[in-house]
Amino acid sequence: MPPRKSALPEGTDHIVRGASAEDEATGTGGFASTKDRLVGQVRDQVFSLRDQAGTRARSFADDGKARATSILDDVSDVIDEAAQAVERKFGTDYADYAHRASGAVSGFADNIRGKSVDDLIDDTRDFVRKSPGIAIGIAAVAGFMLVRLIKTGLDGASTGREAANDGA
């Protein structure tokens, strides 16, 4: 019988995984580096998507802030016009309350307009920490109003469809 070729290179008593050129060629030694490279690519993609989402969220928040301040300015104008009408009919004593309310709404709009979204978020967090009960109450009222608004919109849309179907 011919002598068997030793599985180990001369002078070694065991094989270290990934140490031979054959392991690199077969891909077993490169598995860890491939895995690390893939993990790195996934991590880069996650960071990129997170940055994009943050940028988009800030853009939406800035748009919302601009809309909110515009609405508050409109509400202030309506209150001011009502105050002028009250002043003409009932005198300055009663109109003074409405003028103060108009000024408060206008000042609130200016305050929001002058702050960044991050500042508004920080102010909201501070308010919730200081007055959690009031914050829960405000959230409940806002939720109720939102549900009523959505229901009104859905009821109006279904009424419009029914009227269109009746007319056909």
Number of domains in the chain: 2
Q: Residue 91: left if φ>0, alpha if ψ -120 to 50, beta else—which one?
A: left
Q: What is the mean pLDDT of each run of 10 residues along the chain (168 residues)?
A: 58 62 51 83 91 89 90 90 88 84 90 90 93 93 91 71 57
One domain for residues 105 and 137? no
* Inside any domain, residue 11: no
For residues 46 and 41, what is the distance between their CA atoms, to the nearest angstrom?
A: 9
* Inside any domain, residue 2: no
- Predicted local distance difference test score (pLDDT) of residue 23: 47
CA 155 to chain centre: 28
- Predicted local distance difference test score (pLDDT) of residue 122: 92
* Inside any domain, residue 4: no
One domain for residues 62 and 144? no
One domain for residues 145 and 95? no
- Predicted local distance difference test score (pLDDT) of residue 12: 66
One domain for residues 126 and 139? no
CA dihedral over 147, 153, 156, 161, signed as positive or negative:
negative
- Predicted local distance difference test score (pLDDT) of residue 18: 58
Q: Judge residue 29's burial from the number of C-beta atoms within 10 Å of its C-beta, 0-12 exposed, 13-18 middle, 19 or more buried.
A: middle
- Predicted local distance difference test score (pLDDT) of residue 9: 62
Structural domain span for residue 60: 21-130
One domain for residues 122 and 153? no
Task: Tell me which residue of 45, 42, 107, 100 sits closest to 73, measured CA to CA.
Answer: 107
